[in-house]
Amino acid sequence: MTSHRVTVVKTGLALAAFCAVVFLSLLSVNAGTLEDLYKGINDKKAEIAKLEEQARQYRAEIVVSQEKGKTLKGELARIDASIRQLRGDIAVTEGKVSRTVLEIQALALEIAKKQASIASLQAGLADAVRTLAHKEQEPFIIATFVRGRPLSDFFSALDALTQLKHGMLATVGTLHTTRADLQKERAQADEKRAALEDLQSSLAARKKIQETTQVDKKIVLAETRNQEQRYQQLLVAREKQKAALEDEVTKIEEQIKFTLDASSIPTQGRGVLGYPLPSVSLTSCGTTGAKAENCLTQHFGYTEFARTGGYGGIYGHNGVDFRAAIGTPVLSSESGVIAGVGDTDVGCRGASYGKWVLIRHDNHLATIYAHLSSINTSTGARVVRGTVIGYSGATGYATGPHLHFGLYAAEAVQIQTIQSKVCGRPMTLPIAPVNGYLDPERYL
C-alpha cells in the first residue's frame, strides 16, 4: 500500500473514532474532584433535610406557646422558641449556602470540560478539513490511472475519503451537542449564582432578626421587671393604646371621600394576586390544626374578633392574617412599585402595623404587608410577583408572629404622617377610606 493511501486511511479512521476518544479522556479529567463535589452536595442535602425537620419542630413549639395564654411566662417561652427557630433557620440557610457553593464549583468543572472538548473537536475538525481540501485538489480517478497505480488503491483511497467525511459529520454533530450542553450548564451556573446571592441575603436578614428578637426579650424583661403583674398591666395599657389609635386613624379615614370605580380594578378571581408567603393555606388554622404553616388566623371583615369589640366593633378587620413563623420570607403578590415602607413602632410601639411595606401594582390594586421583622426593599423599587420584600415577624400590635396582608383599590390608599395624640409622636402609615379596602381572599 502506498504512503498516500496509508495517510488517508489513517486520517479517516482517526476522525471516525475521534469523538469517543475525546470524551473518554475528558471523563478522567478532574474525575476525582467532581466525584468529591457531588458527594459533598448529597451530604449537604441530607444534612439540610434533618435541619429542616428540626426547624419545623421549633415552629410548632411557637404555635403551642402562643396558644397558652397571655402570660409573661408564655411570652418569654414564645420569644425563646422564636430564637431557637431562627437559629434552626440560620443553620438550614448556611447548609443551603454551602451546598450551592459546591454546586457552582461542580458546574465550573463541567463547563471547563465542555470547553476543552469543544477546543479539541474544533482542532480535529480543522485538521480534517485541511486533509480533505488537499485530497480533493487532485481527483483520485485521474491520479490512479495516470500514475499507473492499482485499481485497489483507488477504492481504498475512496473508502478512506468516505470515512473522513463521515467522521467530519459526526464531529460537527458532537460539536453542536456539546455547545448546547455548555450553554445549558452556563445558564444553570448563572441561576445558582443568583440563588446564592438570595441565600446570602436571607442569611444576613435572619441573623439580624435573631439579634432583634434577643433585644425584644430584654425589653420585655426590663418593662416588666420579670413580674407577671407588671406584664398584665402592660397588656391592658397596650390594648387601650391600640384601641385609641385605631379610633384616631378611623376618624381620619372617614374624612377621605372616595368613589370606587369597579371597572378600574381587576375582576375578582383566583390567582389575580399571588400568595404573600410560601406554601399558603387559605383554610383557617383552627381547621387545619396547630402544626399547619402559613394558614389563616383571621379573615377579612366582620370577624369573630371584630364582633367581640376588636377594631372598635364598627368596620371589622381590614385585611387577612396568616400564621407565619418569624423570619418567613414575605413575597410581593404582584408586580408593581414600592409606594412606601415604615415602622409604626417608632411613633407608637406595639399599637399598630409595626414594620410595613405598601406596593402599588400595575393592575391598579395596592397591597400592604405588616408586622414584619425585617424589610428587604425600599421606596421606589420595582418588584415582580414573588420578590422577597421582607420577613414576617411580630412587630406592632401582634400576639405572636404573623403576617397582616391588606388589599386596596390603589387610588384609595395614601401614605400619611399623622401626629398621634395617643402616643404624642408622629407616625407614618397607609390610610384609606373604608370603601377603599378589599377582601384579599377574593383575589388570591
Residue-level pLDDT at 340: 97
Here the CATH number for the domain that contains residue 345 is 2.70.70.10
Residue-level pLDDT at 165: 65
d(C-alpha 330, C-alpha 342), whole Å: 15
Residue-level pLDDT at 90: 94
d(C-alpha 351, C-alpha 355), whole Å: 12
215 lies in a domain? no
219 lies in a domain? no
Domain boundary among 173, 208, 243: 208
Contact in structure between 79 and 213 (CB atoms under 8 Å): yes
d(C-alpha 172, C-alpha 438), whole Å: 61
Same domain? For 95 and 240 the reply is no
Residue-level pLDDT at 358: 98
Contact in structure between 297 and 322 (CB atoms under 8 Å): yes
Among 182, 183, 206, smallest CA distance to 96 is for 206
Is 27 exposed, middle or buried, given 0-12, 13-18 or 19+ CB atoms closer than 10 A? exposed
- SS3 (DSSP) at 372: strand
342 lies in a domain? yes
246 lies in a domain? yes
264 lies in a domain? yes
Same domain? For 190 and 317 the reply is no
Same domain? For 200 and 231 the reply is no
Residues sharing a CB contact under 8 Å with residue 213, sequence separation 6 or more, in sequence order: 79, 82, 83, 86, 326, 373
87 lies in a domain? yes
Same domain? For 135 and 33 the reply is yes
Q: Which residue range is the domain that position 347 belongs to?
A: 227-442
Angle at which helices 72-136 and 3-16 pack, to 10 degrees?
160
Which residues in the chain come in under a pLDDT of 50?
Answer: 1-29
Same domain? For 389 and 273 the reply is yes
Same domain? For 171 and 267 the reply is no
Same domain? For 389 and 340 the reply is yes
Same domain? For 131 and 253 the reply is no
Number of domains in the chain: 2
Cell numbers that stand for 377 in this block: 426593599
214 lies in a domain? no
Contact in structure between 361 and 335 (CB atoms under 8 Å): yes
